[in-house]
Chain A
Amino acid sequence: MLDSVLFYFFAGIAVICAAMMVTRRNPIHSAVFLITTLLATAGIFLQLRAEFLFGVQIILYVGGIMVLFIFVIMLVRLDAPLQELRFTFQRWVAAFVALALVLEVAVMFLLLRRLPGQGSLVLRAVPADRLPPNSEALAQSLFSSYLLPFEIASVLLLVAMVGAVVMAKKR
């Protein structure tokens, strides 16, 4: 009961704010709505008992990446964000993309429904109180099964860091 209330609450916020984000003209407003979406997603992570990811989402995504976005938006101080054409001719492309994706999911659902024994989409998960402690389990899996990807991810971050510095450095 509480679970579903929380889910619909966060999901509603996420979807509405995402739509607002795409439609705002002012980039700062867009960023604020994106922040709200990301926070709502963090809430969904919490509702899914992915506590560590919740923390990472807030610290890294919201507290890190979005701050960077806002910082850049303020740095490039566009005086005329309002002149921007919001929807260009590409809207037809967009509509097509959307339609295609919706169709794809619909087909997928239908197929899954039809296949016998594959009703995995309504599978009941492990009850929350019997889950292993989340951070510990995640760390265990990160540092054993996924050690190599983990290291590669850190190299990726390093490369990105160097790249960003090189890019943004004043010549």
Chain B
Amino acid sequence: MHEDATKKSNTLLGADELVINMGPQHPSTHGVLRVKLKLDGERVIGSECVIGYLHRGVEKIAENRTYQQFAPYVDRMDYVAAVSNGLGYCEAIEKLLNAEAPLRARVIRTILTELQRIASHLLWLGTHGLDIGALTPLFYCMREREEILKIFEKYCGARLTTHAFRIGGLQYDAYDTLEKDVERFCTNFAKRIEEYETLLTGNSIWIGRTRNVGKLSAEDAIALGVSGPVLRASGVKWDLRKAMPYAAYDQYKFEIPVGTHGDTYDRYIVRMEEMRQSRLICLQAIENIPGGPIMAKVGKVLKPAPGEVYHSIEAPKGILGYYVVSDGTVQPYRVRIRPPSFINLQAFSKMVEGHLVADVVAIIGTLDIVLGEVDR
């Protein structure tokens, strides 16, 4: 009875609310996310995310593979930022082994990871623009991303799921023209990113579609555990690259962009700025790639001492953590992964409440989720 009364006052005509099943087959749920939306007219009065359509049991697979064998699997989680995933895993196992990759390896890792961050943000920018109806940025972004993927291809032969790093360092040394390629990309990219900004940043439609949409206050963001650009756009200056430096980040100077409102526009601005900062890191890194070995001495068969370790990195989408338990055998006893998209998706229901259907896709886009990572 009471429920009936509230339902009546909530909807436009007192009739039943409209339930829309967005996904898992929908152009803008970025994969196989399924969102059950309760609508009053077009206003969202309730939402529920249904996930698991891409579950492959990655964490379980880890328990039946050796440490090295599992490394390629992590590439398949956030498949648009495979390099970052690999970095986190390799560093976690290195921590477990009490080994550290040589400096040269760490610098090259940094360069590739930052390129990957740019590539991931570019893909986000393109698809986010497409969600909001801007067709053209996608193709421009793809053009730039292609340059990055070409560098990856030259480096390790793969473009998407690269498996670029090995536990203990690198398998391949930097190829001859790596510096030159990265530098050329970075010089071009400075102009290109201005181009995107002219298309979107000052566009009043873009501002109208993103300002005040999906607001997340700093307190809520921290309480929900979101991380990455989503957190920083809410005004929390938290970046693991600065807070707990890994790879070679402690050697380079860069800023952590933060937003003020925590809305979709701020998240957009933060990511754009992050791309610029990543570009600066790359430029600093290629200036001076130290010589030396690229592989630490870790042996062919990895048998870490029993124990556990947690290591997290700042992946493009937020904090990517690996919790690995070793029982002293060649296979991990348990691998638990903290994927940024999965945690960030928690904020979704809070963010869409009271918004229109059109904002739902904007919010899914701005969270920058990858379902491979959410479902694992």
Contacts and interface: CB of A to CB of B under 8 A. Distances in A.
**Is there any pair of Cβ atoms, one from A and one from B, under 8 angstroms apart in the complex?**
yes
A154 B213 CA distance: 41
A77 B17 CA distance: 11
6 contacts: A75-B12, A75-B13, A76-B13, A76-B15, A77-B15, A170-B12
Interface residues of A, number: 4
Contacts of B15: 76-77
A75 B15 CA distance: 9
Interface in B14-56: 15
Contacts of A170: 12
The 6 closest A-B pairs by CB, nearest first: A75-B13, A77-B15, A76-B13, A170-B12, A76-B15, A75-B12
Contacts of B12: 75, 170
Contacts of A77: 15
B157 to A, nearest CB: 56
Instruction: Give the size category of B's interface with A.
Output: under 10
Contacts of B13: 75-76
Interface in A59-108: 75-77
A40 to B, nearest CB: 33
B246 to A, nearest CB: 54
Interface string A17-29: 0000000000000
Interface string A36-56: 000000000000000000000
A76 B13 CA distance: 7
A79 to B, nearest CB: 9
Nearest to B18: A77
A170 B13 CA distance: 8
A76 B15 CA distance: 7
Nearest to B12: A170
Nearest to A75: B13
A119 to B, nearest CB: 56
A118 to B, nearest CB: 55
Nearest to A77: B15
Nearest to A72: B13
A70 to B, nearest CB: 15
B314 to A, nearest CB: 46
A124 to B, nearest CB: 54
Contacts of A75: 12-13
A88 B58 CA distance: 66
B279 to A, nearest CB: 50
Interface in A98-142: none
A167 to B, nearest CB: 13
Contacts of A76: 13, 15
A150 B10 CA distance: 42
A76 B41 CA distance: 11
Nearest to A171: B9
A77 B13 CA distance: 10
A101 B2 CA distance: 52
Interface in B186-225: none
A170 B9 CA distance: 10
A154 to B, nearest CB: 30
B109 to A, nearest CB: 58
